[in-house]
Each structure stands twice: as structure tokens, then as C-alpha cells.
Amino acid sequence: MPGQGNHKPSADVQTAFLQNKTQPASVELERAVLSAMLRDPEFCIPTAVSMFGNQAEVFFTATHRELFKAILKISESQSEKAVDLVNLTYELRKDGKGDMFDEVALAELYSAVATTANIETWCQSLRDLYSLRKMIGVCNESLLRCYDPTASAAKLIEEFETSVYKIRESGKGTTYQSIKNCVRKEFEYLHAVYENRVEVGISSGFTQMDKLTGGLKPGEMFVLAARPSIGKTAFALNIIRNIAFPHRTPNPKKVVFFSLEMTAEQITRRLLCTEADVSEGDFRVKDRLQSADLNRLAQAVDRIRKAKLYIDPTPGLTVMELRARARRMYMTKDEDNTPMIDMIVIDYLQLMHADVGAADGRQNEVAMISGGLKALAKELNIPVLVLAQLNREIDKNARPDAKPKLSHLRESGAIEQDADVVAFLHRNRDEAKDLPRGQSTKAEVIIEKNRNGQIGVVNLLFFPYRTEFCPASPHSEDEMPASAK
């Protein structure tokens, strides 16, 4: 019957397209780069190394790979040998590769170019060809694996996207850097920070917390944990308002919010009500809302719609799916030709899953998720704010004001290990019950781990009526969110 049977194509069909196809390569370019490295080693060898690293595979021809390795070996030797034809011939013979070359061929290679002025262009073209060959290898392997009946489609897609992303990143040059270059670059960065020309991290809008953490820094995973109903989501949304809404900051950021617990409509409604100083509960009581409330909501709509905030409410996301979606958004350029996102927020970690069958036990699964999120922050070099649930051990304590500790992080110590910053949101839930409009209760953010800064406690006020956290006194007027002034 049509649609039944084994659809795997024959070997002839699989290879038909690739028959008589040559790999992307250029012998002339390879000779030009090697010739330039011999003619002007002081300039051209560092240029080639900065673009290739020590990857001899950039050269498609086997003899050219051996020449490249021999040139680097001479250049990096402690004897300070000159990179010339005599030493190159000696090095090749010493490594047992002398039979692959003769003096005439090496002399012809040395004279292959008249000038080394185009070395950077040649290296870029050679690296592009190498990237194409790697893409062919990745695509071929992925194609064959697609016919495996036991393969996981989601896992294959994520692995393919990861491989493509690595090829894309490898096209930017070597992954290692000399400390000589790094220290100069970092001094210039620190000097710019000192002069307030750049920001250490994205300001959360909570000044006292930023003083401890340095803000939400690129490449770092910031874990905000609390018991249920303490206000993790509310606090995260308060931070999003402070950094993404143009009327609240002169330098608004682009944020993607992965909400595994609430719908996009619920998130939007909460943002609207907080911004307008209106209680969500008022919508459920007839005649509670006044015309002034509706006017403030209309004004809030006008302010919020200008924010570059993206909400993904997909429940039960796997860490691979989330990383793939974030990676695609990051690679998508905004109208200013910058990445579509500056920061990621995830609500919350324990609602995520690892790939099916990838982990044995929930603790290992959470460890894989945590490690995957940290890798995502480092890969995209943007801050990732992750909300997390605390275990029930803290509730077993007889004291109602018992404060959380690192050991209370639910299901895995890997969260503590992977996170750059671990903060606990803490307050007494009973104190917030039935508080009238305008009344607040005390809360605090406990910075319990800070890999690159200080730990400490930040005092807050929580206004349950509008689900907003504000800095507690003493504070200056400019430290308070606008709606609290």
C-alpha cells in the first residue's frame, strides 16, 4: 500500500548528489598563505594563528597541513630559530616528513606570492572554505542519523543547531588568547567602568542589590529561589520592567521570558496591573474598578507596548528546546543589527525537563538542566535569570521567619554549583494577607552566593495589592520604581 514500507533510500540514491562533487578548497590560497608565512613570518604567522588557531585542518591538502604545523613548531620553539627554508627543511626531516617535500618544491612555494599585503583576506577565504567543509560533514552525519529509527527528532535538531552554531563561532577565529592582549583589553574595560562609560552588568533597578552583584552580568547565570507564593515571578517581572520598559530606563534592554508556569496573557495582565497600580483582584469584584483605574490601565498599555519583551509560554520545555529557541532569537538581528535579545528569564527551573531518556533520576535531570542553562549564558554571553523552587525542608522549621539556605535548593546541588549568583527571596507570607491598597510588608533578597562579588542582604518592601517589590528605607528617591513614588 502507498505510504507503507521502508522509505530509507538506497546507498546509490543517498550518494547520487555527492558523486563527482569536490570538497570546497583552493590549493592556490593555501600556497599563498604558507608562502606569506615564510616570507614575512613576524607579521603573517601571528595573523594566521589569530584566524586559524593551531588547526592545521584549515588546509585541505595533506602536505600543506604538515608545512603549517612545521612552521608553527619553529615559530613557537624556545631556540628562537628563524622561520626560513633551511630550518623548515630540517624540521620536516626531523619529524620524518622530509620525503614528502623536496627543496625545489619548497623554493617554489616561497616564491608563490609577490607580496604579503593580502594575508588577512587569504586567511579569511581559507577559513570560509574550511567552514563549508565542516558544514558538509555535519550535514552528511545528520542526514544519515535521520534514518535511524531510534533517533530522537528533538535531540537531533538540537545537536545539529549546536554544531552549526559552533561552526559559525569558529569562523570568528581562534578560541584562545594571549594574556598580553587580554590584560590590555581588561584594563581598558575597567578604566571605562571607572569613568562610567560602560556598565558592568544590566542594572536590575534595585540599586542595593546591584551594588552587591554588579548587576546582571553577561555570561552569568543568576538563580533567584524562594518557596511557593513568596513572589519569585513578581520580583522577576519587576526586574524586567526596570530593564526593558523605555520609560523606566534610558537604556532599555531586549528580554525573552520563558514562562513555563503562566500563560502569556497572565504575564501581560500582571505587568499591566502592576504598572497601572491596579489590583488583579478588582476585576473579579463587581463595581470595584473606577474610571480612574481604567485610565491608568490605558496609559500603562501605551508604555508597555514600547518594550522589547518577548514571552514564550510553552509548558514543559526541555533544556535542548529552550537553548535552541534562545539561540535562534539571539542570531536574529534587530533593526539596529544587534541580537534580538540581551537577557533571558526562565520561570522556573524545576518545571523544565532534560531530553527524554537522557538522565537517570530527577536529580541528574535537574543537574543536566542547570548545566545546560549555564552553558547557554556563556555561549551567548548574556545574563540568564533563572527562578527556582526551594525544597520543603525550610517549611519543617518551626519558626515562621526561618530563612532559606543553599541546602534548601530543591532537587539538586548542581544548581548551586552552576550558578554564578544565588539569591533567595524571603518574606513572611502571613503578613501580606488582606493588606489594603498602599500598605506593604517587609521582604528581603539574600545574596547567598556570588562568584564575582559580595554576599549580603537587601531590604525590600512588598506591596501585595499591585504585586510589586520596592527598595526599603533608607533609600533615595531615584532608587524607587516610578509607580512607588
Tell me the per-residue pLDDT of 31-73, one tens digit each, with 9 for 90 and over.
999 999 888 888 888 788 877 877 888 999 888 988 888 888 8
pLDDT at res. 155: 76
The DSSP result for 43-79, as a single string, is HHHHHHHHHHTT-GGGS-SHHHHHHHHHHHHHHH-TT
pLDDT of 399 > 70? The answer is: no
Task: Check pLDDT > 90 for residue 363.
Answer: no
The one-letter amino acid code at 119 reads: I
- Residue 11, pLDDT score: 46
Residue bearing the bigger pLDDT, 188 or 266? 266
Establish whether domains 27-170 and 198-484 are of one fold. Answer: no
When comparing pLDDT for 169 and 408, which is higher?
408
Q: Domain spans of the chain?
A: 27-170, 198-484
C-alpha cell at 191: 578604566
Q: pLDDT tens digit string along 445-469? A: 999 989 888 889 999 988 888 888 8
pLDDT tens track for 249-267:
888 999 999 999 889 889 9
- 3-class DSSP assignment, residue 274: helix
Determine the pLDDT at residue 284.
66
Catalytic option among 120, 161, 199, 261 = 261
* Measured CA distances, 191 to 195, 196, 368 (Å): 6, 9, 38
In the residue annotation, 261 being an active-site residue is answered as yes
Query: CATH number of 27-170: 3.40.50.300, 1.10.10.10, 1.10.860.10, 3.40.50.720?
Result: 1.10.860.10
- Give the orientation angle of helix 85-94 with respect to helix 103-110, to 10 degrees: 140
Q: 3-state class of 471 per DSSP? A: strand
Q: Determine the pLDDT at residue 69.
A: 86
Confidence of residue 276 (pLDDT cuts 50, 70, 90): confident
Per-residue pLDDT tens digits for 309-331: 999 998 888 887 788 788 888 88
CB-based contacts of 229-232 (< 8 A; 24+ apart in sequence): 229/429, 230/425, 230/426, 230/427, 230/429, 231/425, 231/427, 231/443, 231/462, 231/467, 231/469, 232/347, 232/348, 232/387, 232/425
- Residue 118 CB neighbour total at 10 angstroms: 14
Output the CATH code of domain 198-484. Answer: 3.40.50.300
Q: What does the pLDDT average to over 19-24?
A: 73
* 479: pLDDT strictly greater than 50: no
Which tens digits make up the pLDDT trace of 191-246?
A: 777 777 777 788 888 988 988 988 899 999 999 998 888 889 999 999 999 999 98
Phi, psi of 97 (to 5 degrees): -110, 10
